[in-house]
């Protein structure tokens, strides 16, 4: 199991050498806000609204003191905008009250902030602080189960079981690779099995079309993948 998992990780690293967080950000605060906003929407949609949001509220203090209606207007297209506005403004206020307006670099501190769970915390730790973390979103969970790395559906249990198979130093990049693979090839309904570089190692091979020509038409470009939640 460990050898197969690490081989899959290596193949995905070769397939997606450019894999990275597809949310645009310049600092930990921006990434934290963008990740909270990304729930139930696409990274592309978030990237369309955050420039205006950060231009108007460049610091946590600015966001914490904002008019909620103004924030809601800016982020409305991301969906669930009232709840998200409450979360990002509450998070910003907590940063100011507890951490002098700075995003903490520890998991135990991040998960105490409004709107921040382990998934969001690991995104921020891995991509803004260089602290290894596994991001179990819908793509990661689906692929981990298809690869036979886990049978769990609870994100925390998936994180623990996959983490036992892959070296900690690889956790952040593994997360990117699985998310990229899930958005581009290993789709939830019709995975492109016949165009998959890890097909020989995948116990779920055959869930999607195995004919290379048919499967090839299911492969999404980077631009198309950004429209995936």
Q: Rounded distance, CA 3 to CA 6, Å? A: 5
What is the CB neighbour count within 10 angstroms for residue 193?
23
Residue 50 carries which DSSP code?
H
Structure tokens at 23: 């949310």
Give the CA radius of gyration of the chain: 18
- Give the DSSP per-residue string, 91-157: HHHHHHHHHTT---SSHHHHTTSTT--HHHHHHHHHHHS--------HHHHHHHHHTTS----SHHH
CB 162 within 8 A of CB 149: yes
Q: Which residues are catalytic?
A: 119, 137
CB 28 within 8 A of CB 128: yes
């Amino acid at each position: 199991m460990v050898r197969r998992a690490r081989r899959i990780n290596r193949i995905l690293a070769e397939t997606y050498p450019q894999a990275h967080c597809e949310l645009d950000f310049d600092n930990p605060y921006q990434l934290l806000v963008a990740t909270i906003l990304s729930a139930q929407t696409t990274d592309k949609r978030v990237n369309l609204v955050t420039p205006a949001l950060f231009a108007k509220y460049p610091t946590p203090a600015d966001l914490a003191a904002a008019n909620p209606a103004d924030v809601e207007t800016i982020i409305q297209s991301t969906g669930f905008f009232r709840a998200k506005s409450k979360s990002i403004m509450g998070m910003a206020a907590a940063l100011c009250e507890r951490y002098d307006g700075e995003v903490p670099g520890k998991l135990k501190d991040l998960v105490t902030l409004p709107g921040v769970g382990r998934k969001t915390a690991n995104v921020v730790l891995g991509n803004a602080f260089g602290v290894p973390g596994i991001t179990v979103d819908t793509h990661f969970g689906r692929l981990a189960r298809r690869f036979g790395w886990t049978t769990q559906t609870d994100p925390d249990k998936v994180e623990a079981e996959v983490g036992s198979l892959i070296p900690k130093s690889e956790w952040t990049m593994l997360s990117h690779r699985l998310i990229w693979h899930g958005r581009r090839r290993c789709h939830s309904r019709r995975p492109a099995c016949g165009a998959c570089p890890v097909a020989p190692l995948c116990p779920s091979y055959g869930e999607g079309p195995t004919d290379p020509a048919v499967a090839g038409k299911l492969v999404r470009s980077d631009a198309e993948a950004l429209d995936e939640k």
